[in-house]
Chain A
Amino acid sequence: MTTAATALDRAQGKLRLDRDDLTVRWLIVGFALFFAIALVIPLYMMVSRSFFDRNGEFIGLANYREYFDTPALFLSIQNSFTVAGISTAIVIVLAFAYAYALNRTCMRFKGFFKVIAMVPLLSPSLLKAIALVYWFGKQGILTDLLFGHSIYGPIGIVMASVFWTFPHAVLIIGTALALSDSRLYEAAEVLKTSHTRIFLTITLPGARYGIISAVIVVFILVLTDFGVPKVIGGSYNVMATDIYKEVIGQQNFEMGAVVSVILLIPAVIAFAIDRIVTRRSVALLSSRAVPYAPKPNWLVDNAMLVYCITIAVLTLAILGMAQYAALVKFWPYNLELTLDHYSFEVQGAGWENFYNSLKVAASVALIGTFVIFIGAYVVEKPRRDPVARQAIQMMALLPMAVPGLVLGLAYLMFINHPSNPLGFLYGTITIIVLSTITHFYTVTHLTAATALKQMDREFESVSASLKVPLARSFRRVTMPVCMPAIFDISIYLFLNSMTTVSAVIFLYGPGTKVASVAAIHLDDSGETAAAAAMAMLIVYACIVVRVLHVIVTGRLLYRLQAWRRR
C-alpha cells in the first residue's frame, strides 16, 4: 500500500542522525571503497579479460573454446581434480582418526600431539614438497619404497598436499568432535548398544557437518595450491601451474584469465556449500548439551597413542629433512654440515627476501587486524543501515571463494591497467600487503564476528543512552572484551602471510620479493638446498612469533584481564 510506503519515506527523511551514526556511515563508505579496490574491480577485470583477445578485441567465448580444444590444458582439469580428490580422501581419514584421538579418548600426551599437528602451519606448502624430494627424489633416502615410481608427479603432489592440509582438517573435524552431547552416549549405553554401533550411529553423524566442511576446505586448498605442484609436480600439469605458465611463461594473460575463471567456479560452489553446512551445524547442538567426557579404554587409548606417534614422527621427519637439507654441503655426496646455503649467493635471492617477508607479515598482521576487526564491528553492531551493512558482510565472505593465485592474477591485471591511477603501486610492499589482507579476509572476519556476536547486544544501546561516543565504547569495552579474538586474528594473519605463495607470486617487484616466492625461484633454478634454507627461515620466524604469541596471550591477558577470572 502506498500510505505505508510514504509514511516510511517520511520517517526516513526526518530521522536525525547523531555523530555515531555518521561515523558508521563513513566507515561503510570506506569499506565499500576498500572492497571495490581490493576485490571487486580486480576480479571484474580478470573475468572480463577472459572474453577479450590480446589486442583488446571482444571475442566472446573464443578463449574458452581454445582452452577446451587444447588437450594439454584440458587434461590439467582432470589432473587437478584427481590429486585434489585423492589427497582429500587420505587427509580426511587420517585427520579424523587424529582428531578422534585428541577429543574422544583418554590417550596420554594430548597437549603435545595438539601442538605437533599444527606444526605444518608454520611452513609454506612447498617446504613439504622439498623435504619429500630429499626423502624420495632421484637421490632420496627412501626412493626404493616407491618401487620405481617417481616422486615427481601425482604421488609427490598427493603426499605433500596431505602433509600441508592435515592441520586444517584436524582443526575443523576436531571442533566438530569437541561439540558433542554426552547424554546421547549415556542413552546409547543404557540401551546396551555396541561400540561399533555407537560410533556409526552417534559419533559419525554428530561430526558429519565438520567432516563435510573439512572435505570442502581440503579439496579447495589442494585444488588451488601452487607451491606443491610447482616444486614436485614434474611434468604433471595442474590448473594452478597452468595459470602460472600462461602468465609468467607465455605472457598470455587472456588464457591465464580463462583458467582462473574455470578454477574459480568449483571454489565458489564449494565455498557456498561450506557456508550452508556451517550455518546448519551451529543449530545442531542445543545450548543445554552436556560435553562428552571420554572414559579410559586401554586398547583404544594405546592404539591411538601409537597412531599419533606415527603421525608426529612423519611430521617431524618432513620438517627435520628440510632442515637437514638446508645444512648439508652437497647432497648426497658431501654430507658435511654447513651454513653456506643461508648466504643465498644466487642471483635474485638474499636475506632481503626474508626481511621483506617479515615486513609484509608484520604489516598484514597490524593493519589487517585493525581493518578486519573494525569491518566486523560495522557489520555486527550498529542498528542503522542494515542493507548496506549486509552488503559489506557479503564482500567480507567473498575472498574465501577466490583462490590466491586467481586473486594475484586479478591484482596484476588491475594494477597494470593503463588507466589505473593506482598503477604506481605496482611491485610495492603496499600492493602485496593489500592482496594478502584480502586473501585471508574471510576467516579472520568470521573470527571477529563470532567474538562480537558473543557480546551483549545492548552494550551499544547502553552507551547511547549514557551519551558515550561510539569510539570511546569501542576502545573502552569492545576491544578489551574481544582481545583474545584480536590476538588470534593477528597471529593467523602473520603466519599465513609468511607462508603464502599464491597471491604474491604475481605481485612482487624489484626489491620486494618475499621469502616464499624466493624459495620457489631458487628451487626452479635447481638450488634446492638454498630453497630449503629459505623456507626454513620462514619456519624459524613463525616459531618465534608463535611462541611469543603464546606468552603474550597467556601473560598479558592474565595480567590485564583480571575480570575474566571469577
Chain B
Amino acid sequence: MTAEANPANDGFLQLEGVSKDFGGFRALTDVSFKVAEGEFICFLGPSGCGKTTLLRCIAGLETQTRGSIRMGGEDISWLPPSRRDFGIVFQSYALFPNLTVSDNIAYGLVNKGLARPEIVARVTELLDLIGLSEHVSKYPSQLSGGEQQRVALARALATSPGLLLLDEPLSALDAKVRARLRREIRAIQDRLGVTTIMVTHDQEEAQTMADRIFVMNGGRIEQLGTPDEIYDAPATPFVADFIGVMNFFPVTVVDGEAVTPGNLALTCDVGGLNPGARVNCAVRPEDILLVDDGRDGGENTIEATVSDIEFLGSFVRLYLEAPALGDGELRADVRKDLARRHEIATGRPVRVRIPPATIRLYGTGPAA
C-alpha cells in the first residue's frame, strides 16, 4: 500500500503510536486504534490508567507527545480543539450555571450564524430528544443530576458534531438513574448514528453500551474487541481479572496437561506452551460445576470444602478450599436451586468440575 491516506481504509478516527508524557511521567504509551463511523466505543480501565488523557488528546485539550491522530481522513494531530469536530460531556457536566436549559443547549448554535427561529427549532428538537421539554427555562441548579447530565448531552449534540466524547458521564449518578440513562444514551446514539467514545471504569456500563471496548491499563490498550470477545477471550491476565470475576492459580505444564501444586493433572488446551513452563490458570466462577454426590465427576474433578457462602440474588457464590489447587480460594457461582439441592453449607465437602474448554492459561499473573 502507498503511504497516501485512504479514508475508507483508515476508518473514521485513527490513532497511531500516540504517547503522552507529563514531565517525566508517561501517561499514555504507544496507543493505536481505528474507529469506524457510527461506532460506540468505551475506554475501560482502572483509575489513573490514562482514559481521560486519551480522550483529551483526541479532543485536542492535551497535546500528544508523539504519534498522530486522524479524523475523517484529515490529520488533526496539531489542531486546537476549536478546529476539531467533536462534542464533549464532562463528568462534572460543566453546565453554565447562569444560563437556562435552553440557553445552555443553544450556546454553540448562536455563533453559527443561524437565524433565531432555526435556533429555537433546533433546541426544541433536542429537548424532545432528551425528554426535558418542560424544563426549558430552568437553571442547572434547579435540575436533578440525571437531568443536568442530559442537558450536557444535548448541548454537546446541538451542533451535530462528527464525534461525541463522554468522560464518565454517569459516574456522579445513583445506580437506578445510571441504568436508565445508559439505555437512553445508547438509544440516542443509535438514532443519530454519531460516532461516540465514552470513558468509564465501570465494566458493566461498558459491556451494556459499547459496540467495542478498549481495555486500558497503565497507559496502554491491553485489548480491544466486542464485549463478548473481551469477556470470553481475555487476551491478558489483566483483562481477565478486570472484566468480571476470575479465579487464578499456578500450574506447571506437563505433557499437554496442567499440573496443580497439589499434583492434580487438569486437562486443558496448553497451546504452544513448553513442558515445564510455570503458568497461571484462569477459570470463571460461573464455569465451575457442582458434581452430584455419589456420581463420578470425570476429568478435572476437584475435592474441596466450602469455607464461605455469599448470596448474590439469583445465584450463590461459594468460596472453596481446594488443597489440590494450592493456598488460594476458589470462587464458584452456582444457581440457587442447585445449591439447595446439594444442601450446601459452610464446612461441607463438595466435588466440583472444571470443563477443559473453560480453562485459560497465561504466562504471567493478573497483577502484572
> Which A positions have Cβ atoms within 8 angstroms of B?
4, 7-8, 11, 14-21, 383, 456, 458-459, 461-469, 472, 476-477, 480-481, 561-564, 566
In the complex, the answer to whether B90 meets A461 with C-beta atoms within 8 Å is: yes
Chain A residue at minimal CB-CB distance from B87:
A465
In the complex, the answer to whether B159 meets A466 with C-beta atoms within 8 Å is: yes
Chain A contacts for B96, CB-based, 8 A: 459, 476-477, 481
Given contacts A459-B94, A462-B94, contact A16 B81 (CB under 8 A): no
Report the minimal beta-carbon distance from B73 to chain A, rounded to whole angstroms.
Answer: 18
Report the minimal beta-carbon distance from A322 to chain B, rounded to whole angstroms.
Answer: 43
Name the segment of B61-69, B264-272, B297-305, B345-353 touching the other chain: B61-69
Q: Could you tell me which residues of chain B, from 81 to 109, have a CB within 8 Å of some CB in chain A?
A: 81-84, 86-88, 90, 92, 94, 96-100, 107-108
Q: Is the CB of B59 closer than 8 A to any CB of chain A?
A: yes
Q: Is the CB of B308 closer than 8 A to any CB of chain A?
A: no
In the complex, the answer to whether B83 meets A18 with C-beta atoms within 8 Å is: yes
Chain B contacts for A476, CB-based, 8 A: 96, 99, 107
Q: Is the CB of B173 closer than 8 A to any CB of chain A?
A: no
Chain B contacts for A465, CB-based, 8 A: 59, 81-82, 84, 86-88, 108, 156, 161
> In the complex the two chains form, what is the Cα distance from A477 to B98 in whole Å?
7
In the complex, the answer to whether B90 meets A16 with C-beta atoms within 8 Å is: no
In the complex, the answer to whether B98 meets A481 with C-beta atoms within 8 Å is: yes
The number of chain B residues touching the other chain, given as a range, is: 35 or more
Chain A contacts for B80, CB-based, 8 A: 15-18, 20-21, 464
Chain B contacts for A20, CB-based, 8 A: 80, 82
In the complex, the answer to whether B139 meets A467 with C-beta atoms within 8 Å is: no
Chain A contacts for B60, CB-based, 8 A: 464
Q: Is the CB of B79 closer than 8 A to any CB of chain A?
A: yes
In the complex, the answer to whether B107 meets A466 with C-beta atoms within 8 Å is: yes
> In the complex the two chains form, what is the Cα distance from A464 to B141 in whole Å?
23
In the complex, 15 of the A-B residue pairs with CB atoms within 8 angstroms, ordered by the A residue number, are A4-B65, A15-B78, A16-B80, A456-B94, A459-B96, A462-B90, A464-B82, A465-B156, A468-B110, A477-B96, A481-B96, A561-B98, A562-B139, A563-B97, A563-B141
Given contacts A7-B65, A383-B61, A461-B59, contact A467 B99 (CB under 8 A): no
Chain A contacts for B87, CB-based, 8 A: 465-466
> In the complex the two chains form, what is the Cα distance from A58 to B231 in whole Å?
80
Chain A contacts for B107, CB-based, 8 A: 463, 466, 468, 476
> Which B positions have Cβ atoms within 8 angstroms of A?
21, 59-61, 63-66, 77-84, 86-88, 90, 92, 94, 96-100, 107-108, 110-112, 139-142, 155-156, 158-159, 161
Main SS of the interface on chain B?
loop
In the complex, the 10 A-B pairs of residues with the closest C-beta atoms, listed nearest first = A466-B108, A563-B139, A458-B94, A464-B81, A18-B80, A14-B78, A456-B94, A18-B82, A480-B98, A458-B90
> In the complex the two chains form, what is the Cα distance from A19 to B80 in whole Å?
10
> In the complex the two chains form, what is the Cα distance from A561 to B156 in whole Å?
25
Chain B residue at minimal CB-CB distance from A19:
B82
> In the complex the two chains form, what is the Cα distance from A478 to B192 in whole Å?
32
Report the minimal beta-carbon distance from B315 to chain A, rounded to whole angstroms.
Answer: 37
What would 6 more interface pairs be, CB under 8 Å, given A11-B63, A465-B82, A467-B159?
Answer: A16-B83, A18-B80, A18-B81, A465-B161, A466-B107, A564-B141
> In the complex the two chains form, what is the Cα distance from A453 to B107 in whole Å?
22
Chain A contacts for B94, CB-based, 8 A: 456, 458-459, 461-462
In the complex, the answer to whether A15 meets B111 with C-beta atoms within 8 Å is: no
A4, A464, A564: most-surrounded residue (chain B CB, <10 A): A464
Report the minimal beta-carbon distance from B19 to chain A, rounded to whole angstroms.
Answer: 9
Chain A contacts for B139, CB-based, 8 A: 562-563
Given contacts A456-B92, A461-B59, A468-B107, contact A11 B64 (CB under 8 A): yes
> In the complex the two chains form, what is the Cα distance from A477 to B88 in whole Å?
18
In the complex, the answer to whether A466 meets B141 with C-beta atoms within 8 Å is: no
> In the complex the two chains form, what is the Cα distance from A459 to B64 in whole Å?
22
Report the minimal beta-carbon distance from A239 to chain B, rounded to whole angstroms.
Answer: 44
- Return the contact of B111 from the options A4, A7, A468 (Cβ within 8 A): A468
Chain A-chain B contacts (Cβ-Cβ < 8 Å), number: 102
In the complex, the answer to whether B142 meets A566 with C-beta atoms within 8 Å is: yes
Chain A contacts for B142, CB-based, 8 A: 566
> In the complex the two chains form, what is the Cα distance from A15 to B60 in whole Å?
10
In the complex, the answer to whether A462 meets B88 with C-beta atoms within 8 Å is: yes
> In the complex the two chains form, what is the Cα distance from A458 to B95 in whole Å?
9
> In the complex the two chains form, what is the Cα distance from A266 to B99 in whole Å?
48
Report the minimal beta-carbon distance from A306 to chain B, rounded to whole angstroms.
Answer: 43
> In the complex the two chains form, what is the Cα distance from A14 to B64 in whole Å?
12
Chain B contacts for A14, CB-based, 8 A: 77-78
- Return the contact of A472 from the options B59, B65, B111 (Cβ within 8 A): B111
> In the complex the two chains form, what is the Cα distance from A476 to B103 in whole Å?
11
> In the complex the two chains form, what is the Cα distance from A468 to B94 in whole Å?
15
> In the complex the two chains form, what is the Cα distance from A465 to B155 in whole Å?
10
Report the minimal beta-carbon distance from A294 to chain B, rounded to whole angstroms.
Answer: 30
Report the minimal beta-carbon distance from B178 to chain A, rounded to whole angstroms.
Answer: 21
Chain A residue at minimal CB-CB distance from B80:
A18
Chain B contacts for A466, CB-based, 8 A: 87, 107-108, 155, 158-159
- Return the contact of B63 from the options A15, A462, A467 (Cβ within 8 A): A15
Report the minimal beta-carbon distance from A447 to chain B, rounded to whole angstroms.
Answer: 19
Chain B contacts for A17, CB-based, 8 A: 80
Chain B residue at minimal CB-CB distance from A483:
B98
> In the complex the two chains form, what is the Cα distance from A410 to B317 in whole Å?
78
Chain A residue at minimal CB-CB distance from B24:
A4
> In the complex the two chains form, what is the Cα distance from A379 to B86 in whole Å?
27
Report the minimal beta-carbon distance from A148 to chain B, rounded to whole angstroms.
Answer: 64
Report the minimal beta-carbon distance from B139 to chain A, rounded to whole angstroms.
Answer: 4
Chain A contacts for B77, CB-based, 8 A: 14
Report the minimal beta-carbon distance from B174 to chain A, rounded to whole angstroms.
Answer: 19
Chain B residue at minimal CB-CB distance from A481:
B98
> In the complex the two chains form, what is the Cα distance from A17 to B81 in whole Å?
9
Chain A contacts for B161, CB-based, 8 A: 465
> In the complex the two chains form, what is the Cα distance from A466 to B66 in whole Å?
26
In the complex, the answer to whether B59 meets A458 with C-beta atoms within 8 Å is: no
Chain A contacts for B92, CB-based, 8 A: 456, 458
Report the minimal beta-carbon distance from B21 to chain A, rounded to whole angstroms.
Answer: 7
> In the complex the two chains form, what is the Cα distance from A8 to B19 in whole Å?
11
In the complex, the answer to whether B83 meets A566 with C-beta atoms within 8 Å is: no
Given contacts A7-B66, A465-B86, A467-B108, contact A563 B98 (CB under 8 A): yes
> In the complex the two chains form, what is the Cα distance from A170 to B66 in whole Å?
54
Chain A contacts for B83, CB-based, 8 A: 16, 18
> In the complex the two chains form, what is the Cα distance from A52 to B80 in whole Å?
51
Report the minimal beta-carbon distance from A442 to chain B, rounded to whole angstroms.
Answer: 28
Report the minimal beta-carbon distance from B171 to chain A, rounded to whole angstroms.
Answer: 15
> In the complex the two chains form, what is the Cα distance from A461 to B78 in whole Å?
16
Given contacts A7-B66, A563-B139, contact A477 B99 (CB under 8 A): yes
Chain B contacts for A462, CB-based, 8 A: 88, 90, 94, 155
> In the complex the two chains form, what is the Cα distance from A383 to B81 in whole Å?
11
> In the complex the two chains form, what is the Cα distance from A20 to B159 in whole Å?
20
> In the complex the two chains form, what is the Cα distance from A465 to B82 in whole Å?
6
- Return the contact of B65 from the options A8, A19, A467, A468 (Cβ within 8 A): A8
Report the minimal beta-carbon distance from A273 to chain B, rounded to whole angstroms.
Answer: 29
In the complex, the answer to whether A468 meets B108 with C-beta atoms within 8 Å is: yes
B107, B158, B159: most-surrounded residue (chain A CB, <10 A): B107
Given contacts A466-B108, A477-B99, contact A11 B159 (CB under 8 A): no
